[in-house]
Structure 1
Amino acid sequence: MGYGKDVQQALRAPARALRQAIPQVYESFGQLHAASLAPGALDAKTKELICLAIAVTTQCDGCIATHARGAATQGSTPEETAEAIGVAIMMAGGPGTVYGPRAFAAFNEFLAEQSLSSEK
């Protein structure tokens, strides 16, 4: 089982059903998401790394998949990602040592996918 694309695929149908049931909530969350991750004093890559670290501390596999992809898309390196996850482990303790590796595996999965698509 992967920690990136497999998680996103498993969540796709139930998320779509809920989004149809409460479209205004999802539209508002989408606006918040876009505004929060827009470049400002912090660039988008740094914000994605913060999100990924928070996802580890909150033990949210869907968040890990989303923000691992975001970090890879924004150009985060494996070293930067590992350090951000290291901070999350420090903050989360033992559970961070479970969700941190999941986050790093998801990031590497999306990074490899990007590398393949850029070679084409």
Structure 2
Amino acid sequence: MSSSYGRAVREELRPLTRELRHAIPGVYRGYRELHDAALQTGALDAKIKELIAFAVAVSKQCDGCMAAHAHSAVQQGATPQEAAEAIGVTFLMNGGPATIYGARAFAAFNEAYEAGAGSDDAPR
């Protein structure tokens, strides 16, 4: 697959996110703390939590969230089949729109998977 859907979205959002983060640093610090607390391993491991976040991103139709959580899910060891099954649940819960955003999310996941998601270059 030669798509750069996930990477392109992350790169597009990076400067925009950085500018807003500089304008409201306290809000971003608080969000980062929430992010880290929600995704740390507990009864559910980090991979499962990233796949949940990935699926919610599909349901919310958030390209940036899909790209970021695809990347993070790969870093946590998720496979394309696990990502596809998580997307499949969004079809059940979100209907037709999930079939469109699910395809976009799967492209972003596969791109991150093929690249090995070795660097943490998701926008924060």
Normalised by the size of structure 1, how large is the TM-score? 0.93
Normalised by the size of structure 2, how large is the TM-score? 0.90
Give the equivalent residue in structure 2 for 1:112.
114
Pick aligned residue for 1:10 from 4, 9, 12: 12
Q: Could you tell me whether the CA contact under 8 Å between 1:8 and 1:66 is conserved in 2?
A: yes
Amino acid paired to 1:72: V
Aligned length: 117
Q: Could you tell me whether the CA contact under 8 Å between 1:3 and 1:61 is conserved in 2?
A: no
Task: Tell whether 2:65 aligns with 1:59.
Answer: no
Alpha-carbon distance in structure 2 between the residues aligned to 1:90 and 1:61 = 20
Amino acid paired to 2:77: G
Give the equivalent residue in structure 2 for 1:103.
105
List gaps (5 residues or longer) in structure 1.
none
Alpha-carbon distance, 1:116 to partner: 8.5
Give the equivalent residue in structure 1 for 2:34.
32
CA RMSD of aligned residues (A): 1.6
Alpha-carbon distance in structure 2 between the residues aligned to 1:110 and 1:6 = 11
Pick aligned residue for 2:84 from 75, 82, 85: 82
| 1:22-56 Cα deviation digits (max 9, x unpaired) | 00000000000000000000000000000000000
Alpha-carbon distance in structure 2 between the residues aligned to 1:2 and 1:85 = 19
Q: Which has the higher helix share?
A: 1
In the TM superposition, structure 1's runs of 4+ consecutive aligned residues that sit over 2 Å from their partners are: none
List gaps (5 residues or longer) in structure 2.
120-124
SS of residue paired to 2:116: helix
Amino acid paired to 1:34: D
Q: Could you tell me whether the CA contact under 8 Å between 2:4 and 2:108 is conserved in 1?
A: yes
Distance 1:115 1:42, change over 3 A: closer
Alpha-carbon distance, 1:3 to partner: 2.2
Q: Could you tell me whether the CA contact under 8 Å between 1:49 and 1:67 is conserved in 2?
A: yes
